Amino acid sequence: ERPVLQPGNFKAWGSSSNPLPHLLAPERRVSAPARPRGPRAQNRKAIVDKFGGAASGPTALFRNTKAAGAAIGGVKNMLLEWCRAMTRNYEHVDIQNFSSSWSSGMAFCALIHKFFPDAFDYAELDPTKRRHNFTLAFSTAEKMADCAQLLEVDDMVRLAVPDSKCVYTYIQELYRSLVQKGLVKTKKK
């Protein structure tokens, strides 16, 4: 049986004060909104009702999460397509996602080599030498593109399949850095 959390019962948590007062406060009942009182409130309600209902009600606070998700997915897919286009003719690179496609470090190296072909000889790289590939790609990107090294080589080597959010974030930063350097052209709005 789980212990009941009550105010003052935080000694097990290492504190005698209540760290979560809003969660442990006595239950409060929420009543339905009161009807408009007075002439101003009634006039306001009449105007709001006339123009399509309660615009300030709870439904007005919700955003179209499907549209927001599609926009984020659209940006992610566009960045993935950009990576594919930039690395299309590189051996040992087949970018299908932001995780397993980057596991050998070759995709990172190909992307960096595309913009800085004199920085290293891509043909000499070996997909089985992951640590070398990650180190080369991240250090070259930092030196040549001023791209912050957001990923740790040790973490990338330790994981058989890199975390897609981490790779996506790094690629966003690399893209931003390349745009700032004037190496990637963007559409003006």
> Which residue ranges make up each domain of the chain?
76-180
- Give per-residue pLDDT as tens, 94-151: 999 999 999 999 999 999 999 999 999 999 999 999 999 999 999 999 999 999 999 9
Tally of residues, the chain: 189
Does the predicted model carry a pTM greater than 0.85?
no
Q: How far is Cα 143 from Cα 121, in angstroms, rounded to an integer?
A: 16
Q: Identify the CATH class of 76-180.
A: mainly alpha
Q: How far is Cα 167 from Cα 79, in angstroms, rounded to an integer?
A: 12
* DSSP H or E stretch at residue 73: helix 65-86
**In contact, 122 and 113? CB cutoff 8 Å:** yes
- Give per-residue pLDDT as tens, 21-47: 444 444 445 555 555 566 666 666 666
Angle value at C-alpha 130, between 171 and 181, nearest 5 degrees: 30
The first and second tokens of residue 118, run together, are 């004199």
- Give per-residue pLDDT as tens, 71-83: 667 899 999 999 9
The first and second tokens of residue 167, run together, are 């790779």
DSSP string, 126-137: -TT-HHHHHHHH
